[in-house]
A = this chain, B = another copy of it.
Amino acid sequence: MTYRVPVADIAFTLDHIAGFSRLIDGGLFEDLDMDTARAILEEAARFANEELAPINRAGDTQGARLVDGKVVLPEGFTEAYAKWVEAGWGSFTAPKEHGGQGLPVSLGMAVAEMWHGANMAFGLNPLLTQAGVHALIAHGAHALQTQYLPKLISGEWTGSMQLTEPQAGSDLRSLKTRATPVGDGTYKLTGTKIFITYGEHPMTDNIIHLVLARLPDAPFGTRGISLFVVPKFIPNADGSLGERNDVVAAKLEHKLGIHGSPTCVMNFGDRGGATGWLVGEPNGGLKAMFTMMNEARLGVGIQGVGIGERAFQQALDYARDRRQGAAEGSAADASVAIIEHPDVARMLLNMKSKTSAARAIAYTTSVAIDISHRAADASERKRAANEAALLTPIAKAVSTDFGVETASEGIQVHGGMGFIEETGAAQHYRDARIAPIYEGTNGIQAIDLVTRKLPLAGGETFRDFLAGLKETAREVASSNDDGLGHTGECLWESITALEETGGWLTRQLAENRAAALAGATPFQRLFGFAAGGALLAKGALAATRGGESHGRNAEAVVLEARHFAESLMGETSGLKHAVTHAHETVARGGAVLGER
């Protein structure tokens, strides 16, 4: 099965759901127009289809390996990366002043969906490089910027994000890696980092590590963490590569999925200390880390979309070709493609509509980021930044949960063949499973959503977003479009549940914080269903009004929105109950279950 980028879905979602036209019409990206954007999408799609998708399977079966201290990548990965850099995809969204092309983040995320759908293990590398670029732009001294940014942006070098240590995962307070000032402006780093994606690889001459560590006098906790640049090779003044730095990959992890991506244990200071440079203020590492992390979180959400799409295509392809059983009411000896069986069609509709909903949420978040960067009006920028902040945990968590669920349902569509590795469906099920975990587990996202994002701007950000969802629900109700069936009522019920639980949680934050924390994950999922359902309905309204189709079938757009609303979104009733009642059992749950 060959993955094909769903360019029509991507362009339609950008244009009619995510609000990409606001960027174009507002001239936020100079003379960028929809035709150009569309041509870029087509070109990226060609690259993903022809260069990345074909090596996805080898990535899984061969995996990355550590041989004599060197990482060996699966066949084709290094060559594909060189072509990717050559084609300029690395510099896509980076600012022009640092050598980038200055294109919208939203277009960058659309293109990233293609890399991840085609080859999630490959796509991770640029995701992390870009996170490093953001940190350097926001917090790096001028000298560091000029030294590293051009090559990181072009992709000539890659970046890694080094946060986790064995005792410090979700909880960064207990980081132990130490950075000792040498006195010449540099620091010597010693310690061990784990789960470092592309911490070592042969794709590029140099790798620029962004590393969290503690200064000698640092206070306990997250206020004592600083961020450092630690290059694999220390660049000379003329830009050539100098001394090999004292940081090595000691081991690669043996993982459930994304085998093509090397996940390294990194040792700093086996030979006395790795040379690093401080990024930003001493003890200001957490802030710099969140700069790296926020877009990376959205990027991981996009992985959920990409892997969901790929699993859907794989299952659809199988269901169209595999013949089993007679259709209801047909001659007993007839046999039909299994897609004609209602239960199989239902599974495929689940997969497709969940993937579309996740895409709609993620792209909407990315357009908000663009507006927050570019709008002329400061208050508009601020509002958009808040909207992006509110939606980022949803985009990360709900998209990645949907990705796992979709990959699992994709196996089910295949029946027994789904369990056989050669079929390919199993790889998606394995690959998808990491996305709800890294860049902050989905549980951490939920806590972020409830404790920091709901209260943003005194709750106004949440209320504004709700108002938008309600407006869509009203438009659906007044459209009287038979094709949308009960979508309007279903939307209204879910949005009301979102509003009520949001209010309840906000009160609990003051009164009973543990209750808010117990309900955070069900709330996050409820939010995803309500937002996803409304955004799909927005697309359906646009499709029925006959706007530019971008090649999408209007009936399919409407059907997805309706199926999501009628068959999936009803879960919000149960989630509403879980949000407000989970604390009653959870309060004693740990103690009762935890007894040995």
Contact = CB atoms under 8 A, between A and B. Distances in A.
A482 to B, nearest CB: 10
Interface stretch (A44-52, A68-76, A127-135, A169-177): A169-177
A578 B343 CA distance: 12
Interface in A186-229: 194-195, 220-221
Given A343-B446, A433-B411, A593 B348 contact: yes
Interface stretch (A16-24, A242-250, A332-340): A332-340
B593 A518 contact: no
Contacts of A593: 316, 339, 345, 348-349, 352, 556
Contacts of A586: 342, 345-346, 349, 563
Interface in A482-530: 485-486, 490, 513-514, 517-518, 520-522
A422 B549 CA distance: 48
A352 B555 CA distance: 42
A416 B164 contact: yes
A433 B408 contact: yes
A474 B341 CA distance: 39
Contact of A170 (B253, B324, B332): B324
Interface in A549-582: 553, 555-556, 559, 562-563, 566-578, 581-582
A325 B171 contact: yes
Contact of A436 (B346, B412, B566, B595): B412
A584 interface: yes
A144 interface: no
A416 B195 contact: yes
Contacts of A287: none
Nearest to A194: B416
A325 B167 CA distance: 11
Given A419-B434, A568-B574, A348 B443 contact: no
Contact of A173 (B316, B333, B441, B568): B333
Contacts of A6: none
Contacts of A513: 328-329
B567 A447 contact: no
Give the size category of A's interface with B. 35 or more
Interface in A439-467: 441-443, 446-447
A438 interface: yes
B566 A577 contact: yes
Nearest to A353: B585
A302 interface: no
Nearest to A579: B567
Interface in A312-331: 316, 319-320, 324-326, 328-329
A571 B574 contact: yes
Interface stretch (A90-98, A116-124, A254-262, A272-280): A254-262
A583 interface: yes
A300 interface: no
A393 interface: no
Given A346-B589, A573-B570, A404 B408 contact: yes
B169 A324 contact: yes
A505 to B, nearest CB: 13
Contacts of A485: 581, 584-585
A339 B595 CA distance: 11
Contact of A569 (B316, B324, B490, B574): B574
Contacts of A345: 518, 586, 589-590, 593
Contacts of A594: 316, 319-320, 337, 339
A346 B521 contact: yes
Given A174-B335, A316-B594, A426-B433, 20 more contacts: A254-B420, A256-B421, A316-B593, A340-B590, A342-B590, A343-B521, A345-B589, A345-B593, A346-B521, A348-B590, A348-B593, A352-B593, A485-B585, A522-B567, A556-B592, A563-B585, A566-B577, A569-B574, A570-B577, A570-B578
Interface of A: 164, 168-171, 173-174, 194-195, 220-221, 253-257, 316, 319-320, 324-326, 328-329, 332-333, 335, 337, 339-349, 352, 404, 408, 411-412, 415-416, 418-422, 426, 429-430, 433-434, 436-438, 441-443, 446-447, 485-486, 490, 513-514, 517-518, 520-522, 553, 555-556, 559, 562-563, 566-578, 581-590, 592-596
9 contacts: A220-B332, A256-B429, A340-B590, A348-B593, A419-B433, A419-B434, A556-B593, A559-B592, A570-B575
